[in-house]
Amino acid sequence: MDPRAIAYDRQGSGPTLLLLHGLGHERTAWRPVVSRLADAFDCVSVDLPGFGESPAPEPTAPYDIATLLDSLLDFCRHLGLHDVHVAGNSLGGALALELGSLGAARSVTALAPVGFSSGRARRLALIGALATGSHVPPAVRQAAARSAPGRMAARLALHGAADAPTAHDATFRPEALDPRSPFARLAKEVIRYTFTAAAPRTPVSIGWGDHDRVLSPRQAQRASRLIPHARFVLLLNAGHLCMVDAPHATAATIRETCAYGEATYGPPRTRAAPPP
């Protein structure tokens, strides 16, 4: 994918911090955290290919974790970004760990990363649910998503508390179940994905919302076994979107992890100016 097509926001100054969202989300989810980090970091939040304002790969082109990684590496080269810190949520958390494994990150903060579930039956059930949902007529999907039960389900799935102010506008996107949508194309790959890469040698923090109903915080135990030097941070009163539910604690976790990275590697190399 042409790295010039990847949409991003950039704010602040200091060491570069690359922020990666989860499946079905977009870069705007990081705004509550960026406002707490831009005083010390050059925050670059991106729309992953297929989400927000970034186009998806062509229907016949590969679209999986590996292609997303290639796109991110090309994006960093395009902007002249070196020695970046990386933080990611869910799918973005897995991508952050993979970048760390490749030696492309000074530090990694993975928030509820995918890839550490051991439940094969659950994965198959999710794939089946996606396949079933794709056959539901669009009008029915739209009505269900906008209904009171549908909105409540979105609040409970994504946020720590259904009545929290941050959960007020939560909703599922019915168009995501279209089998041609980026979400549906990528979801099957994400569900099957397991983190098998070498543990990053950089400082790693694994954060998890204590009310995450999408990926259980218990998965952090498996992540800790695979990445023994990682520190675990439980983010209180937060759901799967911990950067939205607990932006202060999330920002503090990222800031501390980046500090370990700076202490380990010293000042970053001079980065190139962004292209016009």
pLDDT higher at 225 or 178: 225
The bridge status of strand 8-11 relative to strand 42-46 is antiparallel
Q: Is residue 86 part of a domain?
A: yes
Q: Is residue 147 part of a domain?
A: no
Q: Is 195 left (phi over 0), alpha (psi -120 to 50) or beta?
A: beta
Is the whole model's pTM more than 0.85, yes or no?
Answer: no
- Work out the burial of residue 232: count CB atoms within 10 Å of its CB; fewer than 13 is exposed, 13-18 middle, 19 or more buried: middle
- pLDDT at 18 exceeding the cut of 70: yes
Query: What is the extent of the structural domain holding 112?
Result: 3-119+194-265
With bands split at pLDDT 50, 70 and 90, how would you rate the model's confidence at 206?
very high
pLDDT (mean) for 42-57: 96
In degrees, rounded to 5, the angle at the alpha carbon of residue 57 between the alpha carbons of residues 51 and 58 is 130
How is 183-231 classified by DSSP, letter by letter? HHHHHHHHHH----SPPPSS-EEEEEETT-SSS-TTHHHHHHHHSTT-E
pLDDT higher at 176 or 81: 81
pLDDT of residue 276: 40
Tally the residues of the chain.
Answer: 276
The bridge status of strand 16-20 relative to strand 85-89 is parallel
With bands split at pLDDT 50, 70 and 90, how would you rate the model's confidence at 121?
very low
Kindly report the number of other CB atoms within 10 A of residue 66's CB atom: 11
Q: Is residue 138 part of a domain?
A: no
pLDDT of residue 268: 52
Q: Is residue 164 part of a domain?
A: no
Work out the percent of the chain whose per-residue pLDDT is above 90.
Answer: 56
Q: Is residue 162 part of a domain?
A: no
pLDDT (mean) for 38-64: 95
Instruction: Find how far residue 58's CA is from the centre of its chain.
Output: 22
pLDDT digits (tens, 9 = 90+) for 71-85: 999 999 999 998 899
Q: Is residue 38 part of a domain?
A: yes
8 A C-beta contact, residue 221 and residue 234:
no
pLDDT (mean) for 76-96: 95
pLDDT of residue 267: 54
Token code pair at residue 62: 């590969």
Tally of structural domains, the chain: 1
pLDDT of residue 273: 38
- What spatial distance separates the first Cα and last Cα of the chain, rounded to whole Å? 19
CA atoms of 18 and 34, how far apart (whole Å): 11
Q: Is residue 83 part of a domain?
A: yes
- Indicate the residue type of 13: S
Residue 242 has φ and ψ, to the nearest 5°, of -65, -25
pLDDT digits (tens, 9 = 90+) for 224-265: 899 999 999 999 989 888 998 899 999 999 999 999 888 776
Residue 31: which CATH number? 3.40.50.1820
Q: Which of 32, 23, 39, 160 is nearest to 88 (CA)?
A: 23
Q: Is residue 149 part of a domain?
A: no
Kindly report the number of other CB atoms within 10 A of residue 36's CB atom: 17
Kindly report the number of other CB atoms within 10 A of residue 228's CB atom: 8
